[in-house]
Amino acid sequence: MKTAVLGAGSFGTCLAKLLAENGHDVTVWSHSLDTAEAIRQNRENTIYLPGISLPASLKVTHEMPEALEKAELVVCAVPTQATRSALEKARDLIPKSAFVVSASKGIEKGSCLLVSDIFVEVLGEKEKNRLFFLSGPSFAKEVAERVPTAITIASYSAEHLGVVQAAFHNEYFRAYATTDVTGVELGGALKNVMAIATGISDGLGLGHNTRAAIITRGLAEIARLGRAMGADPLTLMGLAGMGDLVLTCTGDLSRNRTVGLQLGQGKSLTEIMAGMRMVAEGVPTTESAHDLANQKNVEMPITEAVYQILYGNKSPRETIRELMTRRLKFEMER
């Protein structure tokens, strides 16, 4: 299958490698000419996925029309906040019969739209049946190293899900399917907020009890918002929900957990972001999730706490104390 991967970050690169190894004709589009040249010359993404050799068959370009020409499968793996501009640039270049897969996780600032909503808004309502959304517990480095990984691919219709599943599936990468797009999207976006929260807790040295409480109550928050937005709560118990939540909140490769760790250790957000080359999606997503929760009138205390630390300059330790002294309630209270 002729495949275009839009985005040469760590996850775009690892998916391009996977698809090339699956026998597809893959071209990666890089927004950065320097990154494209580095991949072409070194057969390695030395900037975003160093130490991983890329297949000789994998092509890279800085020109989007070249990447998208005659593509049968298009994978969009740009940061969430750049998704709209990338899609607007690609919209008239994507062949009308191509399947389009999003591999981004987040909520757009300002509009509070899920990535799936951005795709529908930019590409058009009539294109929904060829849109797919890939999410689940999958660090790019481990996928690139062929570590056994299971993810979920969501679509509005089951009609073509099997074809897209098969395109990604191999002996180390297992793709499950669902038609609960909203649940998969919310799980992938909000786990990054919870990863910042667990990182803050770990940075404060609060221990495993606190981490477990944040992960569990974080899932309850995600499920509450999911219910308000029409998601199936069972989706959030699966790979795109609990699976990705556990990975991102506990894994050392998590950029969002790293942000939280450094906040807990006393660094400012400005200082942390200045020292990061790759995007920590949870930082802008926290602001969007905070706004979305207010719009839907859904109580999300952990999200609110992270928002106040990131954008309200509140003390992490004092914010944890406030979370612990909230009114007592039933665990399953909505």
33, exposed or middle or buried, with CB in 10 Å at 0-12, 13-18, 19+?
A: exposed
Same domain, 173 and 313: no
Tell me, what DSSP letter sits at residue 236?
G
Count Cβ neighbours within 10 Å for each residue of 106-116 and write b for 16 or more, e otherwise.
bbbeeebbbbb
- Distance from C-alpha of 55 to C-alpha of 171, rounded to nearest angstrom: 17
* Nearest to 195, CA basis, from 168, 232, 222: 222
Separation of CA 3 from chain center:
21
Strands (E), 78-178: 99-102, 131-135, 149-155, 173-178
67 shares a domain with 159: yes
Of the three residues 153, 179, 205, the one that is the final residue of a domain is: 179
What is the 8-class DSSP label of residue 54? Answer: P
pLDDT at 146: 98
Say what percent of the chain tops pLDDT 90.
Answer: 93
Whether residues 195 and 135 fall in one domain: no
148 located within any domain? yes
- Please tell me the predicted confidence (pLDDT) of residue 59: 97
pLDDT in tens, 66-94: 999 999 999 999 999 999 999 999 999 99
What range does the domain containing 32 cover? 2-179
Same domain membership, residue 153 and residue 122: yes
**Is the same domain home to 125 and 261?**
no
Give domain status of residue 204, yes or no: yes
- Return the minimum-mean-pLDDT range out of 199-203, 205-209, 288-292, 323-327: 323-327
Same structural domain for residues 167 and 269?
Answer: no
DSSP type of residue 281? T
User: CB 145: neighbour CB atoms within 10 A?
Assistant: 13
Please give the Cα distance from 301 to 293 (Å, whole number).
10
Instruction: Report d(CA 176, CA 153) in Å as an integer.
Output: 6
CA 122 vs CA 80, 117, 136, 168: distances in Å: 14, 9, 24, 25
Compute the mean pLDDT over every residue in the chain, rounded to the nearest whole number: 96
Of all helices (H) and strands (E), which one includes residue 256?
helix 255-264
Sheet holding 2-6, edge to edge: 59-61, 25-29, 2-6, 73-76, 99-102, 131-135, 149-155, 173-178
What's the rounded mean pLDDT across residues 118-135? 97
CA 189 to CA 230: how far, in whole Å?
Answer: 16
Query: Tokens standing for 33?
Result: 């000419």
Per-residue pLDDT of 231-270, as tens digits, reads 999 999 999 999 999 999 999 999 999 999 999 999 999 9
Cβ(116)–Cβ(185) under 8 Å? yes
Dist. CA 150–CA 224, nearest whole Å? 25
Catalytic annotation, residues? 191
Tell me the pLDDT tens digit for each residue of 189-230. Answer: 999 999 999 999 999 999 999 999 999 999 999 999 999 999
Last residue of a domain, one of 179, 202, 227: 179
Note whether 37 and 171 are same-domain residues.
yes
Q: Specify whether 130 is located in the same domain as 170.
A: yes
Instruction: State the average pLDDT over residues 16-41.
Output: 95
Full-prediction pTM beyond 0.85? yes
pLDDT band for 334, please (50, 70, 90 cuts). low
CATH number at residue 44: 3.40.50.720
Same domain membership, residue 238 and residue 285 = yes
CA–CA distance, 268 with 145 (Å, rounded to integer)? 33
Query: Do 231 and 172 fall within a single domain?
Result: no
For the chain, what is the domain count?
2
pLDDT value of position 232: 96
Q: What are phi and psi of 100, to 5 degrees?
A: -120, 120
Contacts of 12 (CB under 8 A, 6+ apart): 5, 6, 28, 75, 77, 78, 103
108 with 28, same domain: the answer is yes
3-class SS string, 12-41: HHHHHHHHHHCCCEEEEECCCHHHHHHHHH
